Amino acid sequence: MKQALWGQVIKVKSILKREYEIPANDFALAGEASSNVRKILTQLGVNPVIIKRTSIAMYEAELNAVIHGNGGKALVEIFEDKIQILIYDEGPGIEDIELAMVEGYSTAPDSIREMGFGAGMGLSNIKKNADEFLLESEINKGTKVYITIALF
Amino acid sequence: MVLCDVLKLIDGKLHTCEEEVDIYIKSACGADLMSDVMAFSKENALLLTGLVNPQVIRTAEMMDIKVVIFVRGKKPTDAMCELAEEKGIVLASSDLSMFTCCGLLYEAGIVGTGN
Ligand SMILES: Nc1ncnc2c1ncn2[C@@H]1O[C@H](COP(=O)(O)OP(=O)(O)OP(=O)(O)O)[C@@H](O)[C@H]1O
Ligand SMILES: [Mg+2]
């Protein structure tokens, strides 16, 4: 097995793992984790098209954790051939996942719409950009979003 | 069309990254809804918007948008300028409306990509 290397950016072949706190209700800070991952992928020389797809998927999930999930955490692992992202929160959860996936469905409050979000496009945008996407949610327990992006 | 010509056309003022006036702009999008920019903007290096908050900068970063122009006389805050400077994103502003800015740029040959 390959050994996980913590805390440093190394060659593409190795595994890299990062954990991020996603602060609740701090809309100005939302996106810091995605921005950091973007930086790492750029340093690793990952194809820009893949970086953009990863950025879009992760940023949408991070925003959802801030807006709907009272903040949470992001776990990012980079393998030789793929990037795996888990974004999870312990917020209210999603009652009807199928409905939440429908483009245009949103429960975002007006304060979020005034900030330019809440069009109900995020989840389907994640699905569009990820190679694998899994959404798990339980009412009053929280929500988990698994995103995998192939590197090649 | 290079950025400095774009700015001349809409009487735009730069707020960050003054050294980047040579960026070449081929296509643009105009939106106040960042959800739409995230979902529909394809290869645009320029975003025109009437929305002023830090997530505009973040959205630009994620979408590889190099230049954000605030229309209708809106100005970015100091915090936004700092964030943009750090990410190498050019911020500019124009007193003209969204419609007029887009019209002038379209007339000058800048196209829209995506839907
Ligand atoms: N982490 C989450 N916790 C609780 N509910 C969520 C979570 N993520 C999404 N949802 C629910 O699913 C709906 C649809 O999410 P989606 O990301 O597609 O749209 P949005 O966040 O409302 O708007 P947009 O992403 O376009 O800004 C949300 O409005 C919310 O009701
Ligand atoms: Mg969303």
Q: What is the 3-state secondary structure (H, E, C) of B2-34?
A: EHHHHHHHCCCEECCCHHHCCCECCEEEECCCH
The span from the CA of A10 to the CA of A128, in Å, is 29
Average pLDDT value over all residues in chain B = 95
Query: In chain B, how long is the greatest CA-to-CA distance?
Result: 34
Report the nearest-CA residue for atom 19 of ligand 1.
A120
Above 80 in pLDDT, residue B83?
yes
Q: A103 with A124: CB under 8 angstroms?
A: yes
For B63, nearest residue in chain A (alpha carbons): A52
- Domain CATH number, residue B18: 3.40.1390.20
User: Does residue A132 lie in a domain region?
Assistant: yes
User: Does residue A122 lie in a domain region?
Assistant: yes
| pLDDT tens string A20-56 | 999 997 888 899 999 999 999 999 999 999 999 999 9
User: Does residue A58 lie in a domain region?
Assistant: yes
Spell out which residues of chain B touch residue A38, defining contact as CB-CB under 8 Å: 61-62
Least confident of A8-22, B45-59, B76-90: A8-22
- Domain CATH number, residue A22: 3.30.565.10
The whole-number average pLDDT for the span B65-82 is 97
- Of the candidates A18, A1, A16, the one whose C-alpha atom is nearest the C-alpha of residue A86 is A18
Q: Which residue has the tokens 């750029």?
A: A42
- Ligand 1 atom closest to Cα of A107? 29
User: Does residue A111 lie in a domain region?
Assistant: yes
The span from the CA of B53 to the CA of B76, in Å, is 8
Whole-number percent of chain A with pLDDT over 70: 91
- Of the candidates B9, B12, B10, B23, the one whose C-alpha atom is nearest the C-alpha of residue B92 is B12
Q: A79 CB contacts (<8 Å, ≥6 apart)?
A: A15, A151
Domain of A37, in residue numbers: 16-150
Above 80 in pLDDT, residue A119?
yes
The span from the CA of A142 to the CA of A88, in Å, is 7
Question: CA of A30 to nearest chain B CA: how many angstroms apart?
Answer: 8
Q: Which residue has the tokens 């887009």?
A: B102
Task: Provide the domain count of chain A.
Answer: 1
User: Does residue A138 lie in a domain region?
Assistant: yes
User: Does residue A5 lie in a domain region?
Assistant: no
User: Does residue A1 lie in a domain region?
Assistant: no
Question: CA of A107 to nearest chain B CA: how many angstroms apart?
Answer: 14
Domain of B15, in residue numbers: 3-112
| A69 CA to centre of ligand 2 in angstroms | 11
Higher pLDDT, B31 or A8: B31
**Which residues are paired to B28 by β-bridges?**
B46
